[in-house]
Chains A and B, each alone.
Chain A
Amino acid sequence: MSGLRGWLSRLASERQADDAEPAGGPEPAGYPTVTSKGLPKFLAYLDTRPAPVLLDLGAFSGSNVTFFGQRLGGKVIIGDLFAELERHARESPAEELAAFLSKRFAREEASLDGVLLWDVCDYLSRPAAKALAAALVRALRPDGALLGFFGNASHVDIGCTRFIVEDDLHVRLRPHASALARQGGMQNRDIIRMFDGLRVSDSYLLQNGWREMLFRKGGGGRPII
């Protein structure tokens, strides 16, 4: 009898597994999770847009695409800048990176509602970061939002971090192998100058020492809830 019960229970769990989405489930525990203060505000802004267009520049994560797609009901453009940077490092000289980024992210003006920059600027030289920032500022809609994380000078390491969004508040930081290295922290004033054309809406210092900054385009936008 217990054998039959066990078989039925296995069958039920297999059926549940078959019905489950192939991705988007919870990330296995073990990696640090940060509580983001900028992400809920970023999402609150995008909630006001009917079908927001979002550019995610972080390392590709299927669960993030599913999260933002379902949460916002809009379009998620996968930038996967780390893959682009690694490809560029293999195939082209470093001094061409700024021009490459300007061209690669030269999207139609005012075509994006939001940009998830994560920590990609930490991996770029100043001219390359500036070129990317200029392309993003141009592509953001008036009132659009950009969310970025910036390490400090002590955050110089090899490898990248994948930001896995767990919910509106929590982001799991999962390291992944990469030949890229952080360039060292930028001063706040340098970051603000770099995103000339955006204003800092909110800025937070996280427990791990990272700075989380939410930018908005234009000065007269609606207040973020």
Chain B
Amino acid sequence: MDKDAFNVGKSVVFKGELSGSEDLVVEGTVEGKVELREHILTVGSHGKIKAEVFAKIVIVLGEVVGNITASEKVELRESGSVDGDITAPRVGIAEGAHLRGSVDMQKKPVAAAAPSPAAKPEAKLAPLPAGAPAAGTQRAPGA
């Protein structure tokens, strides 16, 4: 478990909208909405979330009832259970995990992702010389 992450302890029951700008570990119960657009949400093995979840990375060892949207990836571990739809470019599901819903790994263009002022800038490409192949094409080595 990440020591720097904020921890919602086992005995905590939170109802409402939970948003933040640091990683979060939930071992208690959260109901409502969880929004950590640039951070990691870990639902611990005792954690129960009944909410719409938006985060950069979501790791589920406990229980989630609700849809999960992650801009980077979702990991559903062996003890994890999700009852809802998952949307993320990368999804890993361990053997023994439970999932009831759908998984959408549609490769959306970067521009379609949720804008965030804190988002890290994308690596800039050097301008191509005149006559270079258009974006998306690849030049054969030595060509």
Question: With A62-B93, A65-B91, A66-B93 as given contacts, are A75 and B102 in contact (CB-CB < 8 Å)?
Answer: yes
Q: Would you call B95 and A78 a contact (CB within 8 A)?
A: no
Q: How far is the CA of A176 from the CA of B30 in the complex (A)?
A: 34
Contacts of B101 in A (CB 8 A): 77-78
Majority SS of interface residues in chain B? strand
Q: Would you call B105 and A22 a contact (CB within 8 A)?
A: no
Q: Would you call B93 and A65 a contact (CB within 8 A)?
A: yes
User: B94 interface residue, CB < 8 Å from A?
Assistant: yes
CB of B92, distance to nearest CB on chain A (Å): 4
CB of B24, distance to nearest CB on chain A (Å): 19
Interface size class of A (residues with CB under 8 A): 10 to 19
Question: With A78-B100, A78-B101, A80-B100 as given contacts, are A23 and B95 in contact (CB-CB < 8 Å)?
Answer: yes
Interface size class of B (residues with CB under 8 A): 20 to 34
User: A63 interface residue, CB < 8 Å from B?
Assistant: yes
User: B107 interface residue, CB < 8 Å from A?
Assistant: yes
Question: With A22-B93, A65-B93, A66-B93 as given contacts, are A77 and B102 in contact (CB-CB < 8 Å)?
Answer: yes
User: B138 interface residue, CB < 8 Å from A?
Assistant: no
Question: With A22-B75, A22-B77, A62-B76 as given contacts, are A76 and B102 in contact (CB-CB < 8 Å)?
Answer: yes
User: A142 interface residue, CB < 8 Å from B?
Assistant: no
CB of B102, distance to nearest CB on chain A (Å): 4
Q: Which of chain B's residues has its CB closest to A71's CB?
A: B105
User: B5 interface residue, CB < 8 Å from A?
Assistant: no
User: A73 interface residue, CB < 8 Å from B?
Assistant: yes
CB of A84, distance to nearest CB on chain B (Å): 10
Nearest 9 Cβ contacts at the A-B interface: A62-B93, A69-B105, A21-B92, A77-B102, A75-B104, A22-B92, A73-B107, A23-B94, A22-B94
Contact residues of A with B, CB < 8 Å? Answer: 21-24, 51, 60, 62-63, 65-66, 69-70, 73-78, 80
Given contacts A66-B91, A75-B103, 7 further A-B contacts (CB under 8 A): A24-B93, A62-B95, A65-B93, A65-B99, A66-B93, A69-B103, A78-B102
